[in-house]
Structure 1
Amino acid sequence: MNWKDTYQKWANFSELDVNLSEQLKQMVHSEKELEDAFYKQLSFGTGGMRGILGPGTNRMNVYTVRKAVEGLANYLEGNVAGYQSRGVAVSYDSRYMSKEFAIETAKVLAAHNIKTYIVETLRPTPLLSFAVRHLGAAAGVMITASHNPPEYNGFKVYNEDGGQLPLAQAEAVISKVNAVSNELTVAVENQTQIEKSGLLEWVGEEVDNAYLDKLKTISVRKADGQIKSDLNIVFTPLHGTAYHLVMLGLKQLGFTSVHVVEEQAVPDPEFSTVTSPNPEEHQAFTMAIEKGLKTDADILFGTDPDADRLGVAVKDGKGSYQVLSGNQLGTLMFDYLMRHTPVEKRNNGRLIKTIVTSEMGRAVASHYGVETIDTLTGFKFIGEKIKQFETTDELFLFGYEESYGYLIGDFVRDKDAVQAAMVACEMAQYWKKQGKTLLDALETLYEEHGFFIEQMDSLTLKGKDGAEQIQAIMKDIRANPIKQFGELNVVAVEDYKTSERTVIATSEVEAIELPKENVLKFILEKNSWVCLRPSGTEPKIKSYYGVCSQSKEESQALVKQLTGTMQSRINSSH
């Protein structure tokens, strides 16, 4: 079918959801809008699917969700033992239609006689990962679009280990989803009936309490003899899911001076007090900083809507607060944890980071005698490595990525802002006792290991045309690779699409032992690098930069050279 035929199929469907039918009628005079809604199936990728809410095969709605669940059910039938009785755990965030999509998931699974556990009210993504493991479920589903704009929602799938699907499993699920021929006619059961029959069970405090018990195990404060804390904290959940678990977690660790940004503690699908509910963007801290100044807080932290990302700001010595980058916070937390980890655990321990995460983590790991493992971008690859450690003598110590994702305890298999918030506060308390802020601690690490500076730029290109432009940029730079960034020559080019690393001086080609992905990385002189990749979850192409030198000024100058070269090239490629 072409998109017009698909549109007609929906428009003529007599049982079409009333709200979606009304929206379709409002779109009828905009051919471009209709084409974008129907020109393709909403992509179900390795991390699930994410899209704009509304009618159409390229939108998030009850029918595209049903299609995804139908594919998942068909996958479970042939691949996971005891899947019907073990069931599927489901959680959801504060977005429009999140709870409705969770219930639709249960209604489709019930048609396959598969039990569903749904949280009674919105809960974080990391709790969903934990719930899969705690309940022994066959799979998990999280309804979230993370920090995307309000018009988005999404559907993330987790395997029985509680991790996002590794590539082989994802491809198998994707094939089952794509095999569903008509999303409008997927069989569903009645909600009331499946609640009565036990095929839908609402999950309450049991999973929360089990998670909170595990949360205690990542604490090192008892070893320091610290039970009560004088740390002054400001917390904002940015209208999302983190409030309940974060507040209980802080209380049980002895943090009692917690000031919540009340206006942002209320779940709100519009995220009405921020431009974007993303702690990576400094504007998200505006209200937290205001409260921090009023309360003289030592540390401010914010979580994104599904509470898998954490941002932190600390006193800057100039009467305000500085937001730490994901690389800085990750390095600080890892250093803090290693200071409290016995040598015998460090010997077999592993730090896991992504290929676009700062090399400073590797330098700190080396200092403590810890090996670093690199993965592709995406926490699913870190979760997959943790699973592999169960069959080796390797010990997971810490995992992180530059985009504010961290994991300390492997009872969760995805990034966990609740865990990270606990460690960030403990760490701030530790350095406060030494008479230092986190910025002081960071400066010491720079002096010991070098002045690492990183930057990430992104270009948003929406819709069908935008997706084509992103592919054109990648194709052009592959065909005509950049040989010099500012004054720095390219030493090697890593193409993860072909899994090849080409050394420029010798033309020698080496294999990259990682899964294939549409990513280019340029290794430069002076411990510098540049990486280019299309986002897997947003209509963006992202550029990452990393440098290291003996002074902050030199590193800043190097970053400026790298960004100038790449931005100029991208602009000329589309």
Structure 2
Amino acid sequence: MAKNWEQTFEKWLAFENLDSNLQAELKDLKNDPKETEDAFYQELTFGTGGIRGVLGPGTNRMNIYTVRKAVNGLANYLLEHVVNAKQRGVAIAYDSRYMSQEFAVEAAKVLGAYGIRASVFTSIRPTPVLSYAVRYLNAAAGIMITASHNPPQYNGLKVYNEQGGQILLEEAEQITAAIQATGDELQVPVRDKKELEDELLLYWLGEEVDRSYLENLIGMTKMGQEELEREKDLKIIYTPLHGTGTDLVARGFKQLNFPNVTIVEEQAVADPEFSTVESPNPEEHQAFKLAIQYGEKENADVLLATDPDADRLGAAVKNKAGEYVVLTGNQLGSLLLDYILSHSNLNVYRNARMIKTVVTTELGRAIADSYGVETIETLTGFKYIAEKIAGFDSTGETFMFGYEESYGYLASGFTRDKDAVQAAMLTAEMAHYWKSQGKSVLEALHSLYEKHGYYLEGLNSLTLEGKEGSEQIAKIMEEIRHRPMEEVAGIRVEKVENYVTSERTDTATGTTETINLPQENMMKFILEEDGWVCFRPSGTEPKLKYYYGVRDKSEEASTKKLEMIQIALDEILAEIIKK
């Protein structure tokens, strides 16, 4: 008896109308049984906000049929759950990856089959602009075709709700159920593109949304009118890393009167191969290699890099030796938070709030506390930050800033996802401010450490790909959950936070309290002396991530403690894998 995946493979092979490119790839796959199984053994999981995977034929790959099936599920969900979904329609944007524009049009063709209007951008746009477009157009939902900073062979589809945030757990479960009810991905109904254009069920979006977005962007500034109108002497190098950020970031700087902006020419090309970098991820220092060369030539004050869909921002600044140092997401987020709060009249804001995730630095909480601003903590993922902001409409709380360690920041709720265009403007402003005070950005950071303590963080990940890899990650998490960890690197565990059971346990007394957050496959251990470690599988990549943080009175003491914890965690995981 044939295995299920073999039957699905044969079904695709026998399908007469199969896309010709996929047909050719499918025939090549026949010679590689392991690769064929991986392409067909499961359907792409509708995970954190959508689907993401390697391009190619198969139910476990990104192609027009898996995109159609996902959008078919979304269409059925919208018609059942969202008021006036047909008339309000869906906003669709896409990045510079292979097949991005084609997938955007396929999505519109499926929506059109249900009479749902699709408003599609005429060219590539950043993810935050899609988030804004949903709100601007009062759309029923949004679709962003992107795989963020994954390697070139990947693409993905992210779904946004009517608030402009990535869909939440309950929405994802309902859409997943509608996708599963769809049946055969090869038989999803689609309509002709030209017919949809004629009937205005496919509408092409141009500059209108960009202009409105830019108006909101300049409204964020903390500079006074006189300062805003003055030309700044800050020298900026900016790289969009072959992605979508070039146009809006450049226009944003122009609005704020930063004339000394040099764009890394080789990386301003929207190249789906990301040919000048190993990975188009501003979290990785190699992504700054060209920007650093430009910076040294121009004697630049700050280097900025946005990832391909321009929702994450990385920054590098000079140290005392004149070398460029890449800031971590935790460091840049903390600097931006301090800049915003120190330039806000907090008496004007009712119930000011800062939002961070459970794996983001505790320095943010210390900074917020010093200004009398309350910190709200969420699970990992910006959708949870967006959900909190949406809730503020009814609670009267005021959103000041939200961030996560993975280079995601939001300073104004006009978009409802991490926004590297916003963050680039704020970083330039913040650097300009400190320069005007005779201080470098790194000196400003060390002032924060001197005031609040040296908070340092680390992140490692274990990559385990394919079917076997995901099974192994599940087993490792199971072992960590049931492992009575009493200390890490000789530092006592004070509390154990189990996000599967939503319980926080005090190790000394055995008493438990409820964690008021959605359930997630994550374990966090709170250590003595303001330390912590956390394990969670990535929602978007085949990785097990482990985060850790420390605080001490000096940089040397914190660095030493951080290294000890990293070694201990590596040993713990090696031991579990050996089992």
Q: 1:231 aligns with which of 227, 231, 234?
A: 234
| Equivalence for 1:269 | 272
Instruction: Kindly provide the CA deviation profile for residues 375-428 of structure 1, in whole angstroms up to 9, marking residues without a partner as x.
Output: 000000000000000001200000000000000110000000000000000000
Q: 2:174 aligns with which of 172, 184, 199?
A: 172
- Look up the SS of the partner of 2:175 in the other structure: helix
| Equivalence for 2:123 | 121
Q: CA deviation at 1:46?
A: 3.5
Residue identity matched to 1:434: Q
Contact 1:46 1:171 in 2 (8 A): no
- Look up the SS of the partner of 1:141 in the other structure: strand
Q: CA deviation at 1:35?
A: 0.3
| Equivalence for 1:416 | 419
Q: CA deviation at 1:225?
A: 2.8
Is 1:367 matched with 2:370? yes
Contact 1:358 1:452 in 2 (8 A): yes
Residue identity matched to 1:138: A
* Structure 1 alignment gaps of length 5 or more: none
Q: 1:478 aligns with which of 470, 478, 481?
A: 481
Contact 1:346 1:368 in 2 (8 A): no
Q: 2:508 aligns with which of 505, 509, 521?
A: 505
| Equivalence for 1:12 | 14
Is 1:259 matched with 2:262? yes
Q: CA deviation at 1:204?
A: 0.3
- In structure 1, distance between residues paired with 2:140 and 2:426: 30
Change (3 A) 1:286 1:171: same
Q: CA deviation at 1:487?
A: 1.6
Q: 2:210 aligns with which of 202, 208, 211?
A: 208
Contact 2:243 2:271 in 1 (8 A): yes
- In structure 1, distance between residues paired with 2:335 and 2:523: 28
* Structure 2 alignment gaps of length 5 or more: none
Summarize the alignment of residues 138-149 of structure 1 with structure 2, pairs less than 5 Å apart.
138-149=140-151
- In structure 1, distance between residues paired with 2:183 and 2:501: 32
Summarize the alignment of residues 53-92 of structure 1 with structure 2, pairs less than 5 Å apart.
53-92=55-94
Q: CA deviation at 1:484?
A: 1.0
- Look up the SS of the partner of 2:439 in the other structure: coil
- Report which stretch shifted further, 282-291 or 225-234: 225-234
Aligned residues: 574
Change (3 A) 1:2 1:14: same
TM-score (norm 2): 0.98
Q: 1:516 aligns with which of 513, 516, 519?
A: 519
Summarize the alignment of residues 413-492 of structure 1 with structure 2, pairs less than 5 Å apart.
413-492=416-495
RMSD: 0.9
| Equivalence for 1:51 | 53
- In structure 1, distance between residues paired with 2:226 and 2:460: 40
Contact 2:346 2:352 in 1 (8 A): no
- In structure 2, distance between residues paired with 1:7 and 1:457: 37
- Look up the SS of the partner of 2:189 in the other structure: coil
Change (3 A) 1:532 1:262: same
Instruction: Kindly provide the CA deviation profile for residues 3-32 of structure 1, in whole angstroms up to 9, marking residues without a partner as x.
Output: 111111111111111000100101101110
Q: 2:326 aligns with which of 323, 341, 361?
A: 323
| Equivalence for 2:107 | 105
- Report which stretch shifted further, 326-335 or 226-235: 226-235
- In structure 2, distance between residues paired with 1:192 and 1:481: 62
Residue identity matched to 2:148: S
- In structure 2, distance between residues paired with 1:369 and 1:224: 29
Q: CA deviation at 1:564?
A: 1.2
| Equivalence for 2:394 | 391
Instruction: Kindly provide the CA deviation profile for residues 97-119 of structure 1, in whole angstroms up to 9, marking residues without a partner as x.
Output: 00000000000000000000011
Q: CA deviation at 1:223?
A: 5.3
- Look up the SS of the partner of 1:218 in the other structure: coil
Change (3 A) 1:223 1:445: farther
Q: Indicate the percent of aligned positions where both proteins have the same amino acid.
A: 56
- In structure 2, distance between residues paired with 1:449 and 1:91: 42
Q: CA deviation at 1:345?
A: 3.7
- Look up the SS of the partner of 2:156 in the other structure: strand
| Equivalence for 1:160 | 162
Contact 2:350 2:396 in 1 (8 A): no
Q: Which runs of 4+ in 1 moved over 3 A?
A: none
| Equivalence for 1:301 | 304
Instruction: Kindly provide the CA deviation profile for residues 503-550 of structure 1, in whole angstroms up to 9, marking residues without a partner as x.
Output: 101111111000000000000000000000000000000010110010
Q: 2:25 aligns with which of 15, 23, 26?
A: 23
Residue identity matched to 1:335: D
- In structure 1, distance between residues paired with 2:159 and 2:228: 39
- Look up the SS of the partner of 2:533 in the other structure: strand
- Look up the SS of the partner of 1:573 in the other structure: helix
Change (3 A) 1:448 1:224: farther
- Look up the SS of the partner of 1:530 in the other structure: strand
Contact 1:311 1:323 in 2 (8 A): yes
Residue identity matched to 1:403: S
- Look up the SS of the partner of 2:513 in the other structure: strand
- In structure 1, distance between residues paired with 2:202 and 2:124: 16
Q: CA deviation at 1:2?
A: 1.0
- In structure 2, distance between residues paired with 1:265 and 1:231: 21
- In structure 2, distance between residues paired with 1:317 and 1:291: 19
Contact 2:228 2:256 in 1 (8 A): no
- In structure 2, distance between residues paired with 1:253 and 1:480: 53
Residue identity matched to 2:312: R
| Equivalence for 1:353 | 356
Residue identity matched to 1:269: P
Q: CA deviation at 1:152?
A: 0.3
Contact 1:52 1:152 in 2 (8 A): yes
- In structure 2, distance between residues paired with 1:313 and 1:2: 50
Contact 1:338 1:346 in 2 (8 A): no
- In structure 2, distance between residues paired with 1:351 and 1:547: 21
Q: CA deviation at 1:347?
A: 5.3
TM-score (norm 1): 0.99
Q: CA deviation at 1:480?
A: 1.4
Q: CA deviation at 1:346?
A: 4.9
Contact 1:125 1:308 in 2 (8 A): yes
Q: CA deviation at 1:563?
A: 1.0
Residue identity matched to 1:373: I
Q: CA deviation at 1:166?
A: 1.4
Contact 1:346 1:369 in 2 (8 A): no
- Look up the SS of the partner of 2:219 in the other structure: helix
Contact 1:347 1:370 in 2 (8 A): no
| Equivalence for 2:248 | 245
Q: CA deviation at 1:482?
A: 2.0
- Look up the SS of the partner of 1:154 in the other structure: strand
- Look up the SS of the partner of 2:455 in the other structure: strand
Contact 1:497 1:516 in 2 (8 A): yes
Q: CA deviation at 1:343?
A: 2.3
| Equivalence for 2:499 | 496
- In structure 1, distance between residues paired with 2:440 and 2:310: 25
- In structure 2, distance between residues paired with 1:570 and 1:5: 38
Q: CA deviation at 1:202?
A: 0.6
